[in-house]
Amino acid sequence: MKFVLASQNKHKLVEMQSILSAHGVEVVLESDVGLHVDVEETGETFAENAMLKARAVMEASGLPAIADDSGVCVDALNGAPGVYSARYGGPELDDVARYRLLLENMRGTRTRTAHFTSCIACVFPNGDTLEAEGICPGTIAFAPQGDGGFGYDPVFFLPELRKTYAQLTPEEKAAVSHRGKALEVFDGKLREYLKGNTAWN
């Protein structure tokens, strides 16, 4: 079964594929099916934005579409960047500039607790939907560490592992990350859904 990922982010594709491929799901980017769907993320929550993206890509492709909306929520910043994580500081900033801005905005702050949230939405051509959420608690490091991952990974520190997301192997990250947890929940829901919908098998 083929799902179109409502994203151009190849890092997200790799994370989705590594988890869902074990269950016979092939995940492809919009560009792989000749699409580029620009969705305005007007939702106030990660779940709303994920559903907006999945629905738009399903309507454009005619295939089941899966979307993830995720971000880091920092307690000392009242939950910011939150749903604006990918646009924090403006569209001209890249990943490094965004996490540097986050560190700058937290300068002198002792409370470093934060969490990453991932909401996954899937929309099928028949209108059925599946949703899942995953949360990973952690802290914001005082300086970036590690070369792996993407986005805020170099500054998102997991105290129990004594590593940032960027210092984890892809397998280690999938086992503990917000997206890994959301995909685990999604996988269970998808398995149940497919049992009763043989058309998608």
**HSE (CB half, 13 Å, CA atoms) of 38?**
0
The answer to whether domain 2-200 has CATH 3.40.50.720 is no
Q: Indicate the DSSP class of residue 81.
A: B
Residues counted in the chain: 201
Reported as a single tens digit per residue, the pLDDT across 95-137 is 999 999 999 999 999 999 999 999 999 999 999 999 999 999 9
Domains of the chain by residue range: 2-200
Catalytic residue, chosen from 32, 68, 69, 128, is 69
What pLDDT was estimated at residue 101? Answer: 98
Reported as a single tens digit per residue, the pLDDT across 22-81 is 778 899 999 999 999 999 889 999 999 999 999 999 999 999 999 999 999 999 999 999
8 Å CB contact between 68 and 7: yes
Beta strands in the chain (DSSP E): 2-5, 26-29, 65-74, 113-123, 129-140, 156-158, 163-164
pTM: 0.90
What pLDDT was estimated at residue 17? Answer: 86
Q: Is 69 a catalytic residue?
A: yes
What pLDDT was estimated at residue 69? Answer: 94
For residue 160, count CB atoms less than 10 angstroms from its CB and return exposed for 0-12, middle for 13-18, buried for 19 or more: exposed
Q: Which residue shows structure tokens 């949360």?
A: 135
Residue 174 has pLDDT above 90, yes or no: no
